Structure 1
Amino acid sequence: MSWIRGPIIAVLACLVALTGCSGGSDPEPGNGAGLPSGEQTLQQSAAAMRALRSIAFTIATEGQPNIAVRGGDVKLLRSGDAQGSLQIQQAGLTVETDFVLVGDTVYYKGLTGAGYQKAPRSQIVALYDPSAVLDPERGLAKLLTVARSPKTEAREKVGGKDAYKVRATVPRETAAALIPGLTTDLTGHVWVSAADHRLLKMRGVVPPAGGGQEGAVVLTFTEFDSAYTFKPPV
């Protein structure tokens, strides 16, 4: 169970960590080119994300970030129920697994390909509570308000939508409560929809372990408030 539990936690940690690279505290006048301030942009995004009941995102990596997850496609409800697939690096190999987290049970496909196995949800919640991600007081909306020195750098397209690109840093002490083992501040970019202020994309730098090269994790959001229904796999 530990081989799948760790990657699921890593996915949720990535989500929180990258969102944390996007809040605002110091006013940023004079962006130029008609761009809104980073503080204003991220305050609006926090408000837009605070009411979400569900979210979907894809995961991709650049370089060699110090995480087990190399890719994935995840759908998540505010309750903490989730469903998706993950590409996991294990012993130098990348394998794919499907999982469904419903109620008190997580269902996952093992490396043997022999169908789904199951384990208690408590084994995940004891290390990381997925319901925190969309909790207005603990997750995305909360962390969008606490990062330092936000700066709107550009207006770009993400998935065909106009978005503001904002760079900022989230303090370690803020993110550490949701990301076990975090030892440094997190710096990165987020892209916020110019139309409705929702997060469209995040890119966060992941510090190296043991002197290795740093990498990055990119999350792209494609669905908001969809009426997901997750059921235990047959």
Structure 2
Amino acid sequence: MSWIRGRIPTVVLACALALTGCSGGSGGDSQGSLPQGPQTLQQASNSMRDLKSVAFTISTEGDPVSFPVKSGEVRLLRNGDAEGRLHVQVGMSMETEFVLLGDVLYYKGLTGGYEKASKEQLRSLYDPSAVLDPERGIAKLLTAARGAQPEAREKVGGKDAYRVKVTLPKQEIEGLIPGVDEDLQGQVWISADDHRLLKVRGELPPSGGKGAVVITFTEFNADYRFKAPI
């Protein structure tokens, strides 16, 4: 099971941050009636800065071979604790469920039962607590994004949102998404009501296989309580 401890735990944690990816949609208002891009991103950063928890889904477009998570659902607390389900491709396709509590990661191996790995072993590769850290995670990424251009007003999960085209700088995403070694082009969707980040889409570099990673945020500040499965 050494390959699982070397790859699956990293994939599990990487998705909890991946905080970069989402899908587009049909156009809405003209650019003339949309708010300014930089102002919208700043409002979103402020709105995401004090979150205590978040839930999100992951999906991919095309065949981004450099990103082994094909789909998943994750619930995350500000301290880094998390639980969820992932469909991963690491030489073979498999579904895995996981719970991360403190320094211990519980994950379902090939036998179907839960196994354990140490978060400390993975800290140099990825730290899930960075996702909701205002100085390292989502809030920081939103203010660091360059070239913000408002594109449309659309619905995301039934909510009105502004779609903004952005460049996501390597420096702000490399600690959150392992394997990304250059800026990413993409879009972010910001709620028109409370300015929260609802969706992100990041196009992966051609060297990693043509495609994009999509992340859709579904819950904010829910009272999650995770328990060890074994």
Q: Is the TM value for this pair above 0.5?
A: yes
What does residue 71 of structure 2 align with?
71
What does residue 6 of structure 1 align with?
10
1:29-44 counterparts in 2 under 5 A? 32-44=31-43
Question: Contact conserved, 2:114 with 2:229, CA < 8 A, in 1?
Answer: yes
What does residue 98 of structure 1 align with?
97
What does residue 188 of structure 2 align with?
190
Question: Contact conserved, 1:61 with 1:71, CA < 8 A, in 2?
Answer: yes
Aligned-pair CA distance for 1:13: 4.5
Aligned-pair CA distance for 1:11: 0.8
Q: 1:215 is aligned with what amino acid?
A: G
Count of residues in Structure 1 that have an aligned counterpart in Structure 2: 218
**Match of 1:122, SS?**
helix
Aligned-pair CA distance for 1:18: 4.1
Identity %: 57
Which of 189, 212, 225 is the matching residue for 2:221? 225
Aligned-pair CA distance for 1:170: 2.1
**Match of 1:97, SS?**
strand
Question: Contact conserved, 2:36 with 2:150, CA < 8 A, in 1?
Answer: yes
Q: Deviations over 1:5-27 (max 9, x none)?
A: 22123313421x449xxxxxxxx
Q: Distance in 1 between matches of 2:39 and 2:170?
A: 22
C-alpha distance 202-229 of structure 1, shift in aligned 2 (>3 A)? same
Q: Distance in 1 between matches of 2:117 and 2:168?
A: 34
5+ residue gaps, structure 1: 20-30
What does residue 56 of structure 1 align with?
55
Q: 1:218 is aligned with what amino acid?
A: V
What does residue 118 of structure 1 align with?
116
Q: 1:67 is aligned with what amino acid?
A: F
Computed over aligned residues only, the root mean square deviation of the Cα atoms, in angstroms, reads 1.7
Q: 1:81 is aligned with what amino acid?
A: D
Q: What TM-score do the two structures reach when normalised by structure 1?
A: 0.88
Q: Distance in 2 between matches of 1:200 and 1:180?
A: 22
Q: Distance in 2 between matches of 1:157 and 1:131?
A: 29
Runs (4+) of structure 1 moved beyond 4 Å? none
Aligned-pair CA distance for 1:171: 2.1
Q: 1:2 is aligned with what amino acid?
A: G
5+ residue gaps, structure 2: 23-29
Aligned-pair CA distance for 1:180: 3.8
What does residue 142 of structure 2 align with?
144
Aligned-pair CA distance for 1:94: 2.0
Question: Contact conserved, 2:31 with 2:152, CA < 8 A, in 1?
Answer: no
Q: Deviations over 1:86-129 (max 9, x none)?
A: 000132x321000000012110000121x111122212223211
Question: Contact conserved, 1:10 with 1:68, CA < 8 A, in 2?
Answer: no
Question: Contact conserved, 1:60 with 1:72, CA < 8 A, in 2?
Answer: yes
Q: 1:8 is aligned with what amino acid?
A: V
Q: 2:220 is aligned with what amino acid?
A: F
